[in-house]
Amino acid sequence: MSDTITAIATPLGEGGIGVVRIGGDDALKIMRSVFKECPEDVVPRHAYFGHAVNSDGEIIDEAVFLYMKGPASYTGEDMVEVQAHGSNVSLRNIVRSAIEQGARMAEPGEFTKLAFLNGKLDLSQAEAVIDIIKARTDMTLEIAEKQKEGRLSETIESIRDSLVDILAQMAVNIDYPDEDIEEAEYEEHIDSLRWTLNSVEELISTASIGRIAREGIKIAIVGKPNVGKSSLMNAILGEGRVIVTDIPGTTRDTVEESANIDGVPVVLIDTAGIRDTDDTIEQIGIKRTERAIASSDMIMLVIDGSRDLEDEDDEIISYVKHIDGERILVVINKDDLGDNVDEQDIQDKIPGCSVLRTSLVDGNAVNAAAKVSSVISNKFDFKNIMRTESQIITSERQLSLLKKAASDIEEAINQLDSGEAIELAEINVHSAYDNLGEIIGESAGDEILDTVFSKFCLGK
């Protein structure tokens, strides 16, 4: 008999409605005690309106009760969902009442862990559930939904099926060692292994898009103080989150904010200006700027177009020009105040960069943000990224297992190529099979499950 667990499934805070989940063998029994007007025959998947009560029969709140009979439930076991007012007090009291009736508090992610243990989801699908909950852009959500549907699992299963075929063939060769293994058979194994290696490598190659979905495209906004870096960041974010001031050097630390451009996540890093300074606080900021540039996918260099280029601008230009120009967008700002910086001059100084003129005051900010966003979207081909049909690898765990599997298969190919004993290659093919299995949760130990499910919130 399994424990019956309970938790609030909706975020804590004030809300129209909040949900308490109760799952396990005693779920229905507990519902009978907590639901004041519970009928004798509870029909599964039927909404009942009434009152949630405590163990003294006192009313806690009005609520709707739903009973999902296992295995046709999220976890595969009996489940009850109680929809009450989204009040912390009301929801907590309902949880307490369920606990008084014999339930225990669920661990974070325990409902989904049960769904995994009961075969409702594999591990990669369970990971997709976390990604869906945490998705902040259309792109992240779309990729996670595909993974939740089982697209990745299908691909992994089909690669594993091919490996099983190869292992079966190898076993025949190993079991009949007296028969001379024809060279042609070695070649056949090698060909099949190359094919599977290709499929694994194809998945690995999607990880760079996966990283964008997970972490966002990192864009460092650099430039000397007072040129409009913070104003540009605010314009893209569409709100005034970074303080904008007239005193040069106010943005001392780097500020990171996530934006959503055409559904793709972008992280904007507003940096302090790169410049020689004795001021220690500024120097720390400069170090951060250098680091931000090094770890960014793109640099936006902001220049005050109303003044001639100054030494400080040239310094920053000489600093960034060794970076691939394709990754640089130069924003010549304060267009409303004058036109003292020549676009061609900038393009000559930073070959391959894109250049835009903007003004970020007097209602121009929205237009400027749209222009900048469109350059970013084109540079990274967002439309194409969003259209992608294939399964994208988003988790580090999955990526590292795929890499291990690829190296196992490569090793096996090399062994067969150099005529080593087939038994040795077989060990590596086995290992590839196990590593791929771990992605979907087969042969995954408790430690791996704990790591995956600890990322969940309570009640999921």
Q: Does 336 bind ligand GDP (CB under 6 A)?
A: yes
Q: Which DSSP string do the residues of 382-400 spell out, in sequence order?
A: HHHHHH--S-----HHHHH
226 is a site residue for ligand GDP (CB under 6 A):
yes
Q: Which of 335, 259, 344 is nearest to 298 (CA)?
A: 259
Rule CB under 6 A: choose which of 231, 260, 398, 435 binds ligand GDP.
231
Q: Is beta strand 328-333 parallel, antiparallel or unpaired with respect to 59-68? A: unpaired
Which of 6, 101, 173, 230 touches ligand GDP (CB under 6 A)?
Answer: 230
Give Rg (Cα) of the chain: 29
What are the C-alpha distances in Å from 373 to residues 25, 218, 238, 361, 379? 53, 13, 12, 17, 10
Other residues' Cβ atoms within 10 Å of the Cβ of residue 457: 14
**Bridge-based pairing state of the strands 59-68 and 217-222:** unpaired
Give the residue, chosen from 229, 275, 397, 460, that forms a contact with ligand GDP under the rule CB under 6 A: 229
* # of chain residues touching ligand GDP (CB under 6 A): 19
Helix, strand or coil for residue 34?
helix
Q: Which range binds ligand GDP by CB under 6 A, 37-45, 59-67, 219-227, 452-460?
A: 219-227
Q: Decide if residue 144 touches ligand GDP (CB under 6 A).
A: no
Question: Is residue 424 near ligand GDP by the rule CB under 6 A?
Answer: no
Residue 383: CA atoms inside 13 Å, Cβ hemisphere, count?
4
41's tokens: 């025959």
Rank residues 22 and 219 by Cβ distance to ligand GDP and give the closer one.
219
Based on the shown chain and the rule CB under 6 A, indicate whether residue 244 belongs to the binding site for ligand GDP.
Answer: yes
Stretch that binds ligand GDP, among 98-106, 238-246, 277-285, 323-331 (CB under 6 A): 238-246
Do 439 and 203 form a contact (C-beta atoms < 8 A)? no
355-384 residues near ligand GDP, rule: CB under 6 A: 359-361
Position 140 contacts ligand GDP (CB under 6 A): no
223 touches ligand GDP (CB under 6 A):
yes
Q: Does 227 bind ligand GDP (CB under 6 A)?
A: yes
Q: Is 334 in the site for ligand GDP (CB under 6 A)?
A: yes
Phi, psi at 131, each rounded to 5°: -60, -35
- Contact indicator for 28, 42 with CB cutoff of 8 Å: yes
Closest C-alpha among 301, 349, 346, 300 to residue 322: 349
Could you tell me the smallest distance in angstroms from the CB atom of residue 198 to ligand GDP? 48
Closest approach, Cβ 366 to ligand GDP, in A, equals: 13
Token pair 């924003």 is at which residue?
Answer: 331
Interface region with ligand GDP, contact rule CB under 6 A, candidates 28-36, 223-231, 290-298, 342-350:
223-231
Q: How far is the CB of 360 from ligand GDP (least distance, A)?
A: 4
CB 201 within 8 A of CB 193: no
| Position 275 contacts ligand GDP (CB under 6 A) | no
> How far is CA 105 from each of CA 64, 99, 110, rounded to the nearest angstrom?
21, 7, 10
Which residue has the CB atom at the shortest distance from ligand GDP? 228
Residue 31 touching ligand GDP (CB under 6 A): no
Cβ at position 271, least distance to ligand GDP in Å: 9
β-bridge pairing 264-270 and 255-261: antiparallel
Q: How far is the CB of 227 from ligand GDP (least distance, A)?
A: 4
Nearer to ligand GDP, 225 or 265 (CB): 225
Q: Which residues bind ligand GDP (CB under 6 A)?
A: 223, 225-231, 244-246, 251, 333-334, 336-337, 359-361
